[in-house]
Amino acid sequence: MQTTQAKNPWLWVPPLYFAQAIPYVIVVVLSTLIYKDLGVSNADATFFTSLLYLPWVIKPLWSPVVDMFGTKRRWTILMQLIVALGIGATAGVLQMPGFFMISLAIMWVIALASATHDIAADGFYMLGLPQKGQAAYVGVRSTFYRLASLAMQGPVVIFAGHLIKTLGNPAQAWSIALGIVAAIFGLFVLWHQFVLPRPADDHAVKHSDNPFADFIATFRAFFARRDIWLILGFILTFRLGESQLLKLVLPFLRDPIVKGGLGLSTEQVGFAYGTVGVIALTIGGLAGGYLISRFGLKRCLWLMVFAVHLPDLVFVYLSAAQPGNFYLISAFLAVEQFGYGFGFTAMMLYMIMVSDGEHKTAHYAICTGLMALGMMVPGMFSGRVQEFLGYQHFFVWVCLATIPAFVMAALVKIDPEFGKKSA
């Protein structure tokens, strides 16, 4: 096979990770806002939408299949097609009776396709770029992933909020908004069909005539590592506080003052959190990638752990003061999102570091699956915890839940040179 590995990465890395973010944001983030606008309770919305994390949790179970059959390129494009159809189907059922469970079922299909797309796309990224290029472009992929989050949580939410005001029908408004997203996502499918390179190493990985043995060997190779307990502890606890915070931010911004929220409209949420916040998130991600490329992951780790977790105190203040100044709220959200974007780069590079080797695609999928498990389980019960404690005490609890991440950061082992441009 002729390799086209040298094709300009700017043609495919940015759109690939922009597309990767869209279904994730819809399923994990926007679903809670959509169901909030359609009258679903915080407890039900957080529980059932957290269950949608499950495909990302268990994707390591089928990640060897992506390795053993077909190419990463083919898997990537096929999963994108399924996602486009799934988003369109979700748009079509929101105005139906029993929309909640029907749309959740469709989002399950989207989540399965998106999780499989993550496996293939992340593996393709590591095949399509040399190790130096992987470190150099990690900030780029993170940036465009954030830009997709910006597009979905900013303009899309603002547009849906405008339609809600204009039409007076939240279900119809969100149907129109998601229908447009589905059409745009279809364009990404066509683009990637033509621009994704064809790396010479992108082929089925088989080492014996027994695929099941290859499957087991892939997992054994990962979990047989000498420091596996440190790897598991770091990945599972890094987002323990964020996993609970993420599910309740949008309900907190939307709920009225009397319920402990900030009483913002859907349009205001789209601007404050989905636009200003995600821009800050993107800038933080770029800054984090640049810093690691200069000094390496090990030297930057503690700064990034603090950057991720300390800004959670912003929500303790917002829930206590409930300020009415929209611009002040936006500024505080920007601070929290910048810190998260800056610090999360460390986790991305750490997972790439521990995935290096013959089974890098499957091992990276295992890492991201473990991270999703650390997001899913706490998120499932976050709504009930919030309803029991109230927003103010809930955000205090979130801050306390970040302590294990600091403990694991002190124990985890990192190659001092990993992440540097010269590495």
pLDDT one digit per residue (tens) for the chain, 423 residues: 344 444 688 889 999 999 999 999 999 889 999 999 999 988 899 899 999 988 988 887 877 788 778 888 999 999 999 999 999 999 999 999 899 999 999 999 999 999 999 888 888 887 877 666 666 677 788 778 878 888 898 899 999 999 999 999 999 999 999 999 999 999 999 999 998 888 877 777 665 566 677 678 878 888 888 889 999 999 999 989 988 998 899 899 999 999 999 999 989 998 998 888 888 888 888 888 888 888 888 888 999 999 989 889 999 999 999 999 999 999 999 999 899 888 888 888 889 888 876 677 778 878 888 888 888 889 889 999 999 999 999 999 999 999 999 999 999 888 776 656 544
The answer to whether the CB of 359 falls within 8 A of the CB of 218 is: yes
Q: For the whole model, what pTM was predicted? A: 0.76
Question: Looking at the domain assignment, is residue 421 inside a domain?
Answer: no
Mutual orientation of helices 240-254 and 360-389 as an angle, nearest 10°? 50
Question: Looking at the domain assignment, is residue 204 inside a domain?
Answer: no
Residue labelled with tokens 């149907």: 175
Question: Looking at the domain assignment, is residue 209 inside a domain?
Answer: no
Question: Looking at the domain assignment, is residue 93 inside a domain?
Answer: yes
The answer to whether the CB of 138 falls within 8 A of the CB of 289 is: yes
For residues 299-323, one letter each, b for 16 or more C-beta atoms within 10 angstroms of the residue's C-beta and e for the rest, the string is ebbeebbbbbbebbbbbbebbeeee
Question: Looking at the domain assignment, is residue 148 inside a domain?
Answer: yes
For residues 254-265, one letter each, b for 16 or more C-beta atoms within 10 angstroms of the residue's C-beta and e for the rest, the string is bbeeeebbbebe
Question: Looking at the domain assignment, is residue 208 inside a domain?
Answer: no
- Tokens coding 259: 């319920």
**Within 13 Å of residue 63, how many CA atoms lie on the same side as its CB?**
32
**Within 13 Å of residue 125, how many CA atoms lie on the same side as its CB?**
30
Question: Looking at the domain assignment, is residue 418 inside a domain?
Answer: no
- Residue 412: strand, helix, or coil: coil
- Residue 243: strand, helix, or coil: helix
Calculated CA dihedral for residues 78, 23, 42, 95, nearest 10 degrees? -70
Residue labelled with tokens 């088989």: 206
Please give the Cα distance from 374 to 383 (Å, whole number).
Answer: 16
CA distances from 13 to 10, 42, 98, 196, 381 (A): 6, 36, 39, 9, 36
Question: Looking at the domain assignment, is residue 27 inside a domain?
Answer: yes
How many independent structural domains does the chain possess? 1
- In which domain, by residue range, is 374 found? 9-198+216-411
Q: What is the largest CA-CA distance in the chain?
A: 66
Cα Rg for the chain, rounded, in angstroms? Answer: 21
The answer to whether the CB of 113 falls within 8 A of the CB of 29 is: no
CATH number at residue 136: 1.20.1250.20
CA distances from 18 to 14, 121, 151, 171, 287 (A): 6, 11, 10, 26, 19
